[in-house]
Amino acid sequence: MAKWLLAGCLCLLPATGAWAAVTYVSSSVGSLSNSSVSSVQINNPTGLVAGDLMVAFLAQNNPGSPIVSSATGWTNVLSRTHADGSTVGTSVYYRFATAADISNGSFTFSFTSSRRSAGAILAFRGVDTVTPINASGSQGNNASTSLTAPSITTVDNNAMLVSLYGFVQGSNSATPPAGMTEAFDAATGAGPNGVTIEGAYAVQAAVGATGTRVATAAASSVNIGVLLALSPAATTLAEYRFDELAWGGTAGEVLDSSGNGYNATGFAGATTTVGSPAYTSGSQNTCRYGYFDHVGVTHSYVQLPASLPKMDGSYSVAAWIRSPSPGAQQQRIFANDDNNDGWGLSLADGTTGGIRLFNRNINFTSTSGAGAGSGGLILQTPNNVIAANTWYYVAATVNAVTRQARIYVYDTAGSQRALTTGTYTGAWCASGTCTGATAIGGETSASSEGQQAGFHFLGHIDEPRIYQGALTQAMIQSLLTTVRTCPVGAPDHLQVEYPGDGLTCTPSAVTVKACANADCSLLYTGGGVSGTLSPGGASFAIGIAGFTTSTVSSTTSPATLSATYTPATPNGLTCLNTVTNSTSCGMNFNNAGFLFAAAADGIEATIPTQVAGTASGTYYLRAVRTGTTTRACEAALTGTQSVNLGYQCNNPTTCSGSNLMSVNGGAPTVIARNDDGVLSNSIGVNLTFDINGNAPLTLTYGDVGQVTLLANKTVGGAPLTGATNPFVVKPGGFVVSDIKQTASPQLANPAAGGAAGARFVMAGESFTATVTVTTSGGVATPNYGRETQPEGVNLATALVLPAGGSNATLTNGVIGGSSFTSGVATVTNLSWGEVGIMTLTPRVGDGDYLGAGDVAGTTTGNVGRFYPAKFAISAASLTPACAPGAPATSFTYFGEDGFTTAFTLTAQNLTGGTTSNYRDAFAKLDLALYGSYGFSAATLPAGSSLSGSATAPSGSWTNGEATVAAKHQISRPTDLTAPTSAALTAAPNDGEVPVASPAMALGSTTLRYGRLQLLNAYGSELLDLPLTLRAQYWNGSAWGMNSDDSCTAISAPTSGSGLTFYPEVATGAPGNHLSAAETTATVNVTGKLASGDAGLRFSKPGSGNSGYVDISIPLAARPWLQFPWGISVVNPTGLNPTGRATFGIYRSRLIYSRENY
């Protein structure tokens, strides 16, 4: 386990056990009297402080209703009287103490009636301020010495149980239930007219049923038993700061700073790093942070110990996160789902840049502020709240009392990016669920999902915390700004690396590394390491890079390398001969040999990073020997000499299959390759040495990796040898080519220039690309991806169109080094979850090639056009043409224009994420065109068909979503048809997006075959004349009154528009004496049918104005109410209802009359 020293204070919370518990403070009983009282005064419990929860218990013999008339500032939990009437009554209240309460010293409770009364206040500390009471219950009991409080079910661990009893008989007493501690036992006196109260408390560690709690009275009494469960306040359960220098799989190496001892373990390459803390305030910050999946590391996670309690009550989790690929799916932040029976908080799990909270045991029934896909076991934020390579603070809270869960997302400025709330049913982690291990950064290898490359977090996580209890928003915002003085640590050990033998006449260059782990594969980047090397006394200082260069020098051989330095390291100093891989600290210093210098007559150089395919600057191979008297360096060779040169591949440790380094000492010569630790292969190269033994040369390497240049020559039977430091040669570039659809027909990227350009693949659909790592001359570098920690390539996207749109992260855009063969990788699972056109820029996968920095490749031309994979419909509703009230009375007539559907239409990628760029010219679905939606209706009778209204659909695209309203009509069937339920579906189609199958449901409406019927009427000219004008529908066997129709518009007929008057005959002559001026038709004042009737009536024409008028109700505008009544003069189409109103004829009230003589 990595260890470190602390400078400043690293403050730990006190150990609190598995879960924090509520503590009992004290109780206070109010003044007691054996006389009736109308109020009771209760002093504060001893030791009460602001923030404590006070529980007030009041009891009264023969109480009024309600029992308590005034308890200002207190919250009532429950009140009841005994079931036999009002023998005894109790009330329970709670209140959090304030500073003013402490100062006032007491509380007074007033009763509705003056009776023998008693009261007490219990004080508790550490109670949740949001939902202090997580369960409660009471019951009345007939006369008995057993005082029974009912069983309740707690929903939080370590709930404080409070049992309270009120019973008649003022001279009684009680003992508390088994396992509970008595808080008070007090009586008023006054015998059967008095009252006694008893209170007790105990902690229940686990969630579940409490069982009944039975106190025992000295004498049998009618009684009421009450049981409360108090929720503990939100308390830190585990806090992981991730400030360790490195993790290597040692049990308990990831420290829990809460003091609770839940130390965790890193797995599968999970480690820590430093350099860009999540949050900084002044000179303090959040220090180191966890580094999870990246190039060369997959399946990484931190597993929390099995002793960590299961999250089966209220709880909260929070952490800082930063991902280079927020669109890459299933990125677990917290997970407890090894056995597919638990929960998780993840990034981009069915979303693009959204946060998801899921639990397989519950059902979210309602949400607010949520993104698409919420509901059921899932609660998730909208898309794109998380951007690439940016820190965000995310938190999830679960309140088991209110059954409400929340997701919070904040940026480093403290601005809220998302707040999503869901109400759920079910138990979060009921018995037999959440059985797997809890982990941070991924599911564990014990799960099938954890064994996949997905289901793990890409990038950085810091400051993960787990709490008992649901944190408030204010608490979360406070946690966000938590910083500290970072621990100043020490490396595990120092390592001095030297390139073979040195020379006695000049200092030899060495590299000093601060190692974070035993094999020095991880560097300590905390800085602050300095010291002095021996032999030679050269100083060194190591900063955040983790290494530096210095020199050693000795006139004797061998010499032992050592150093004095601070801070001290637990495992001292090691050495490495980078030429032979020997770990001996005994370094040979020869009197003659080669060294590589940056200048003629210069000291040994440290060759910096080179670029593949590009010639280095000029270096000098110096052939020197130690002068016999001066002990200074003298020329060992002059003139043109053949020197054996080779190169050694250090990382990768094996060279590619051909010699790829050339040295130019006047003419370019390819030299021989050697695998790591091998020195035997070399090729003679003619070099020209001056009188001081300096031969200029340049080198060019046609591959990548860390290499060492070797030189040797035998002179006079004595070997001259020399080697450079291991230096890195990084790629000259990257090229992306052959971009095409992965599935058949493998459409080549059309490189569209705009929204009108040819389409490529669906958003989220896999496409293929070939990435080639090249020299500066464009030749593939075969060793890329074969490094000891294989380097990969990150394909970064840049949005071209639409302007101002969303640039989704490329899924699977980080290509692992193992994918490369001979410097080339073809990947078939790339996908982009947005609509539009983008470009790809390849670069080093982790942004740092073997510590030599990043390399950006050539940006592609346009890639796309990408288009949605599907349309989704949500929030669908159908409003029938007539919806007067209850759904059972709602209907639409066959042929009526018509019923309306409203819904949200969302353009989505293959994984169901919203494609927010589907807008403007990139939105191909015309929302005003009825045919765009693929509407269809099932179970229609013969002859009926669905069609659009005269009113076009409405809606507009905003960030990939449209709120649509569309009106429909279904034509009349061929034959009379009973009421029919028609279910409407939609399968939207923009001509590119695959049509949904099956189509998506919108709702259903009852269709009725209707008509408007008019009946003849006659009556006295001295009275108004009502006529029956009513709506009817075919019920399957006959026409019936459509009393549900209070929707159809109706207007009164007038002369020339529905009324036909006939010429009057002479006064006194038999015939028609009615004219248009003498009567007027009216209908319902609403202008609509009322319960199916028009309310048609004609005004009385008056004395002498007998006659008739023919009526035809025009229905050309409402053809769904026409019927073939028959052609007549007043009804030339035969389809309108007709009738006659006759004045001067009245109907006798007699049915039958007969005279007998």
The secondary structure of residue 109, as a DSSP letter, is: E
- In DSSP terms, 740 is beta-bridged to 748, 768
pLDDT tens-digit series, residues 161-199: 999 999 988 889 999 999 999 999 999 998 888 999 999
For 591-730, CATH number?
Answer: 2.60.40.10
Q: Quick check: 10 pLDDT over 50?
A: no
pLDDT tens-digit series, residues 248-264: 888 888 999 988 899 99
Phi, psi of 373 (to 5 degrees): 100, -5
Radius of gyration in angstroms for the set of CA atoms belonging to the chain, rounded to a whole number: 44
Rounded Cα distance between 974 and 751, Å, is: 53
Q: % helix / strand / coil in the chain, to the nearest 5? A: 5, 45, 50
Type and span of the H or E element at 101: helix 99-104
Tokens in use for 772?
A: 């080639």
Rounded Cα distance between 106 and 45, Å, is: 9
Rounded Cα distance between 356 and 394, Å, is: 11
Rounded Cα distance between 631 and 589, Å, is: 13
Task: Using alpha carbons, list the distances in angstroms from residue 637 to 506, 534, 627, 716, 719.
Answer: 17, 30, 14, 11, 12
Instruction: Give pLDDT, residue 351.
Output: 81
Which amino acid belongs to residue 296? G
Rounded Cα distance between 491 and 935, Å, is: 69
Residue among 742, 936, 764 nearest 350 (CA): 764
What is the mean predicted confidence (pLDDT) over 648-677?
A: 95
Rounded Cα distance between 591 and 586, Å, is: 16
Instruction: Give pLDDT, residue 544.
Output: 76
Q: Output 942-947 pairs: Cβ under 8 A, ≥24 positions apart.
A: 942/973, 942/974, 942/975, 943/971, 943/972, 943/973, 943/974, 943/975, 944/894, 944/970, 944/971, 944/972, 944/973, 944/977, 944/1007, 945/970, 945/971, 946/970, 946/984, 947/971
Instruction: Give pLDDT, residue 18.
Output: 36
pLDDT tens-digit series, residues 778-826: 999 999 999 999 999 999 999 999 998 888 878 899 899 999 999 999 9
- In DSSP terms, 80 is beta-bridged to 90
The answer to whether the beta carbons of residues 187 and 170 sit under 8 Å apart is yes
What is the mean predicted confidence (pLDDT) over 979-993?
A: 94
Q: Quick check: 279 pLDDT over 60?
A: yes
Positions of E strands within 921-999: 936-938, 946-948, 957-958, 961-970, 980-986
Residue among 120, 139, 121, 115 nearest 194 (CA): 115
Positions of E strands within 169-300: 174-175, 181-187, 195-204, 208-209, 213-230, 235-239, 265-267, 271-273, 280-281, 284-285, 289-291
pLDDT tens-digit series, residues 523-575: 887 778 899 999 999 999 988 788 999 999 999 999 999 999 988 898 999 99
Whether residue 176 is preceded by a cis peptide bond, meaning omega within 30 degrees of 0, is no
Rounded Cα distance between 1121 and 1006, Å, is: 16
Instruction: Give pLDDT, residue 85.
Output: 52
Rounded Cα distance between 477 and 277, Å, is: 18
Which amino acid belongs to residue 67? I
Task: Using alpha carbons, list the distances in angstroms from residue 690 to 507, 592, 621, 622, 635.
Answer: 21, 17, 11, 9, 9
Terminal Cα distance for the chain, rounded: 130
Q: Quick check: 20 pLDDT over 80?
A: no
The answer to whether the beta carbons of residues 355 and 369 sit under 8 Å apart is no
Kindly indicate the confidence band of residue 582, based on its pLDDT and cuts at 50, 70 and 90: very high
Residue among 903, 884, 1047 nearest 967 (CA): 903
Rounded Cα distance between 775 and 703, Å, is: 7
pLDDT tens-digit series, residues 359-390: 988 899 888 888 888 888 899 999 999 999 99
Q: Quick check: 64 pLDDT over 80?
A: no
Rounded Cα distance between 537 and 1066, Å, is: 144
Instruction: Give pLDDT, residue 1154.
Output: 59
Kindly indicate the confidence band of residue 690, based on its pLDDT and cuts at 50, 70 and 90: very high
Q: Helix, strand or coil for residue 104?
A: helix
Kindly indicate the confidence band of residue 1152, based on its pLDDT and cuts at 50, 70 and 90: low
Instruction: Give pLDDT, residue 1153.
Output: 54
490-590: what CATH class?
A: mainly beta
Instruction: Give pLDDT, residue 488.
Output: 62
Rounded Cα distance between 254 and 128, Å, is: 29
- In DSSP terms, 225 is beta-bridged to 139, 165
Instruction: Give pLDDT, residue 1151.
Output: 53
Show the DSSP H helices in 1041-1101 as ranges: none
Instruction: Give pLDDT, residue 375.
Output: 83
Kindly indicate the confidence band of residue 17, based on its pLDDT and cuts at 50, 70 and 90: very low
Whether residue 750 is preceded by a cis peptide bond, meaning omega within 30 degrees of 0, is no
What is the mean predicted confidence (pLDDT) over 757-773?
A: 97
pLDDT tens-digit series, residues 99-141: 999 999 999 999 988 999 999 999 999 898 888 998 999 999 9
What is the mean predicted confidence (pLDDT) over 856-878?
A: 95
Q: Helix, strand or coil for residue 106?
A: strand
Q: Which residue has the tokens 């090691």?
A: 574
How many other CB atoms sit within 10 Å of the CB of residue 481?
A: 12
Rounded Cα distance between 1040 and 1011, Å, is: 10
Rounded Cα distance between 594 and 710, Å, is: 9
Rounded Cα distance between 91 and 80, Å, is: 7
Cα angle, residue 705 at apex, residues 703 and 706 outer, rounded to 5°: 130
- In DSSP terms, 642 is beta-bridged to 686
Cα angle, residue 742 at apex, residues 737 and 746 outer, rounded to 5°: 85
Fold of 235-480: Jelly Rolls (2.60.120)
The pTM assigned to this predicted structure is 0.62
Give the mean pLDDT of the chain. Answer: 91
Q: Quick check: 610 pLDDT over 50?
A: yes
**Given strand 265-267, what is the order of strands in its sheet?**
265-267, 301-303, 439-440, 331-336, 343-347, 355-359, 378-380
Kindly indicate the confidence band of residue 691, based on its pLDDT and cuts at 50, 70 and 90: very high
Range among 75-89, 189-203, 750-764 rated most confident? 750-764
pLDDT tens-digit series, residues 435-468: 889 999 999 888 878 787 778 999 999 999 999 8
Q: Quick check: 1014 pLDDT over 70?
A: yes
Rounded Cα distance between 231 and 157, Å, is: 8
Q: Helix, strand or coil for residue 784?
A: coil
Q: Helix, strand or coil for residue 733?
A: strand
Kindly indicate the confidence band of residue 11, based on its pLDDT and cuts at 50, 70 and 90: very low
Rounded Cα distance between 485 and 10, Å, is: 8
Rounded Cα distance between 655 and 992, Å, is: 50
What is the mean predicted confidence (pLDDT) over 995-1023?
A: 92
Q: Quick check: 711 pLDDT over 90?
A: yes
Q: Quick check: 1148 pLDDT over 70?
A: no
Q: Which residues contact 6 (CB under 8 A, 6 or more apart)?
A: 487, 488
Which amino acid belongs to residue 775? T
Q: Quick check: 14 pLDDT over 50?
A: no
pLDDT tens-digit series, residues 923-973: 999 999 999 999 999 889 999 999 999 999 999 999 899 999 999 999 999
Rounded Cα distance between 83 and 994, Å, is: 66
Rounded Cα distance between 357 and 420, Å, is: 10
Instruction: Give pLDDT, residue 485.
Output: 81
